[in-house]
Structure 1
């Protein structure tokens, strides 16, 4: 089922609703803010999702903001995308029928999960991931500690309690600054790390860890879930 285009203009959506496309940004240049077609509030691109019209006119989410053509931007939240669909704002922004499909929010969420899984795989190749309960517990207690704990959704309550206890011993009240990435299934973690039955893993210091956490926060932002924002202290 697709959205039906409307011909009447939406108040507040003008000719400035679309960007000029990545090819027109210039080398090494990126806009500091973009304006959401739903809220009309300017925000950093990192807090938004870009959309383009595909060759068939359908709306395509451009999660990495690299696809050619002019783009419309929406706050990176599920409810904002749902509002854009309900009010037919994509067609109004692009000034042409732009079917998107009622499953657009779910497709975006799946794309963000895929991005997170790929980031974990890259971090693993860079040596920034340890896997297995014993290795995670040891990494938490060692220097410099961990940047985040990764747990499969299927992880047992007992295993989670033990990891939390290890974090408390290491970080004390600063435990709130250690992200717990538990958005992926065991199968997804197996795929990302290239091994079977991954329940517990951890990100350790390194460039790959920062990329993982950035993608994780983007997924959590879209789903309206809280994330750890404080920096962990070292003992």
Structure 2
């Protein structure tokens, strides 16, 4: 019978920072490096629904969120792939103009 004298004891687990996936480029990043976006339902008056995709930089808005690198390349890729509807689980007309404007202003100030 052999006795194990050097037993590996796992180090205490530290709480790691949350990791999210960008819906544009599909790369996984720390949540602090990504922008959270949510869909807000707006009535159009004719009975159809319009979902406005808005930025949530403080990560406090209610509802299902999706994550995106705050650059126009990822925004365009997500738009082309129709990723917003799938990630936010909404269907219908999507308006990304508020998100587009937010990214434009953010780029000008950096």
TM range (shorter): 0.5 to 0.7
Match of 2:80 in 1: 86
More strand by share: 2
Aligned runs of 1:71-220 on 2, under 5 Å? Answer: 71-97=65-91, 99-101=94-96, 104-110=99-105, 112=106, 220=110
* 1:67 maps to 2:61: yes
How far apart are 1:108 and its partner, in Å? 2.8
Aligned length: 87
How far apart are 1:87 and its partner, in Å? 2.2
Structure 1: stretches of 5+ with no match in the other structure: 1-28, 114-182, 185-219, 221-235
8 A contact 1:85–1:100 mirrored in 2: no
Q: Distance in 2 between matches of 1:103 and 1:50?
A: 13
Match of 1:37 in 2: 23
When the two chains are superposed, the root-mean-square deviation of aligned CA atoms in Å is: 2.7
How far apart are 1:102 and its partner, in Å? 5.0
Choose between structure 1 and 2 for higher RCO, CA contacts under 8 A separated by at least 6 residues. Answer: 2
More helix by share: 1
Q: TM-score, normalised by structure 2?
A: 0.62
Structure 2: stretches of 5+ with no match in the other structure: 1-14, 43-50
Provide the secondary structure at the position in 1 that maps to 2:78: helix
8 A contact 1:85–1:102 mirrored in 2: no
Q: Distance in 1 between matches of 2:16 and 2:58?
A: 13
Q: TM-score, normalised by structure 1?
A: 0.32
